[in-house]
Structure 1
Amino acid sequence: MPSPGPGSPQRVGVRELRDNLTTFLREARQGSAFLVTSHDQVVAELRPPPPEAAPRRQPGVLAGRIRLAPDFDETPPEMIDSMEAPLG
């Protein structure tokens, strides 16, 4: 049965993991790590996920600080003329 202490992960066989999966998952959630072995060979690791990184962008952080020109979405007439002009 699981009882790893702090430090290196405890080794656990596939059969023991399968028979006590709920217990191992509960302990992993609490910070324990396990090396899953089959025939004395490590085949997997069971450990808690890394802490989630804070998002790099915070929505709304620049609210009220960015201004767009009133004609931002208007296409200048000379640009329209050049796009509609015949080729060559």
Structure 2
Amino acid sequence: MNISIAEAKAKFSELIKRAEAGEEILVTRHGKVVARVVPPEGEVRKPPLLGALKGQIWISDDFDEPLEEFHEYMP
């Protein structure tokens, strides 16, 4: 990804997140590359895989029911 210095200033947090995810960002001035934002060496955190825990998490059927401790406060 190439990005100008001005745009990099405005989107710095987003650029860091993208680098953490493994992307390399080239920062340009007047169209010439002047810097690189690179992922850290070693293990790179990747975004979680959507649906990776499917079937492993469940919600009790009475999840929305009031707790017994609150019955005395309810009409």
TM-score grouping bracket, smaller chain normalisation: 0.5 to 0.7
| TM-score of the pair, normalised by structure 1 | 0.46
Aligned to 1:28, the other structure's residue is in SS state helix
Residues 18-56 of structure 1: CA deviation (Å, up to 9, x unaligned): 00100110111011111100001100000112117xxxx
Write out the 4+ residue segments of structure 1 that deviate beyond 2 Å after TM superposition: none
Distance between the aligned counterparts of 1:38 and 1:17, measured in 2?
Answer: 11
Residue of structure 1 in register with 2:16 after alignment: 25
Q: Which has the larger radius of gyration?
A: 1
Identity of aligned residues (%): 30
| TM-score of the pair, normalised by structure 2 | 0.54
Count of residue pairs brought into register by the alignment: 43
The runs of 5 or more residues in structure 1 that have no matched partner are 1-9, 53-88
Q: Which has the higher contact order (CA 8 A, sep 6+)?
A: 2
CA RMSD between the two structures? 1.2
